[in-house]
A = this chain, B = another copy of it.
Amino acid sequence: MKLPQGFKAAGIKAGLKPSGKLDLGLIYSDLPLAWAFMGTTNQLKAACVSRNRSRFSSGDPVHGIVVNAGNANCANGDQGIWDNEDFASLAVNALSLPRVQSMLTASTGVVGRKLDMEKLKTAVPQLVKELELDTDHFAEAVVTTDTCTKQVTKTLRGGARIVGVCKGSGMIHPNMATMLAFVMTDAIVSQEKLREIWPDIVNHSFNQVTVDGDTSPNDMAFVFSSRQARVLEEDFIQGLTEVAQELAQKIARDGEGATKLLTVNVSGARNDEEARKAAREVVRSPLVKSAVHGNDPNWGRILVAVGYSGAVSDMANLKIDLQTRTVYHGKPQDFDAAEISQSLKVNDAVIDIDLAAGTAAATAWGCDLSAEYVHINADYTT
């Protein structure tokens, strides 16, 4: 996809993926970029996550980010920290930038194996030569177990643009299929505003995706702005939210073994946190996921998951709709099970839940649980 003004990107083969596919990517801007960042909450953190967090704390703008797939450079001790720093240096030197701090890093792939710095020494200068005005090669270079690349583009009123690229489909050995998201925009927005709005947007998009409930130590979501095109703040926030949510849906739909995107909309919650939590717990439940896979209108499992989510509900008025048909409303409803089962035989399953306890609403995205998920994750033996 065509990049917003001021951005270049590249993707090439460095030889880190055994498959021989593209595995090294770069996002770059000649002028400094405003940026914001949300990283994994896992106590185990890859070297790149810790370094980006430190860069974020400094408040300094950056010129871009260099990304490798095929090796997570995680749980590698001090060696991993040095290699990560060298990775940034290689990019900075090839770009003739004065400060190594102006380049961020991201790694995804195998945990616990040393990064092949010899390959990167040869590949990174080549990568810089391949910079282009398009994200397609970059999007290919950052995927691991994904079955497709994931890109979204949006043009706002006045012409400002937002382009998002992400990867992720669960965590699968030998790859830790980290969620990485890179959103680029040329909308004029201050670094302060970007950092103010990004956590809330991430909490309502990427942090509402559940494939298997496992949180990778490499998860990161970035937004970068080259600040060149005027935009109304409300348009920008809405556009950025939509891009992030569409990327999140792409991750969920590409979940390991998934045959369906499962969308859970919760309304009537006491507050935003409870709405998000209830939606996440329903979309995470292996029993709900299995029922959706089997086209089974099993509202009991949904009700149970709401119950243990910790979100307060008015049980006497709680309402559950499956594919827009009401199956529970304070008590079981009469419904045509065969008809709902038939309506579930599509690629999109939607559960609407009204907690009847307030006015907050939120959505979570996930996928069904298939026997294929187990095959993918069990039938590999080291």
**A interface list, Cβ under 8 A from B:** 41-45, 75-77, 110-113, 171-173, 176, 212-217, 284-287, 290-291, 293-301, 303-310, 312-313, 315-316, 328, 330-332, 337, 341, 368-371, 373-375, 377-382
Contacts and interface: CB of A to CB of B under 8 A. Distances in A.
A291 B332 contact: no
Contacts of A298: 173, 382
A22 to B, nearest CB: 24
Given A75-B331, A213-B286, A214-B301, A378 B308 contact: no
Nearest to A213: B286
A75 to B, nearest CB: 6
A341 B380 CA distance: 11
A382 B298 CA distance: 8
Contacts of A215: 304, 307-308
Nearest to A284: B213
Contact of A331 (B77, B217, B377): B77
17 contacts: A43-B315, A44-B307, A75-B303, A112-B331, A171-B287, A173-B296, A176-B304, A213-B284, A213-B285, A214-B305, A286-B286, A290-B373, A291-B378, A296-B378, A337-B382, A368-B378, A369-B377
A217 B291 contact: no
Contacts of A212: 285-287
Contacts of A216: 304
A308 B173 contact: no
B112 A332 contact: yes
Nearest to A382: B337
B308 A377 contact: no
Nearest to A170: B287
Given A43-B312, A213-B213, A381-B341, A171 B290 contact: no
B77 A290 contact: no
A287 B214 contact: yes
A294 B173 CA distance: 11
Nearest to A309: B43
Contacts of A286: 212-214, 286, 373, 377
A304 B44 contact: yes
Nearest to A340: B382
A308 B214 contact: yes
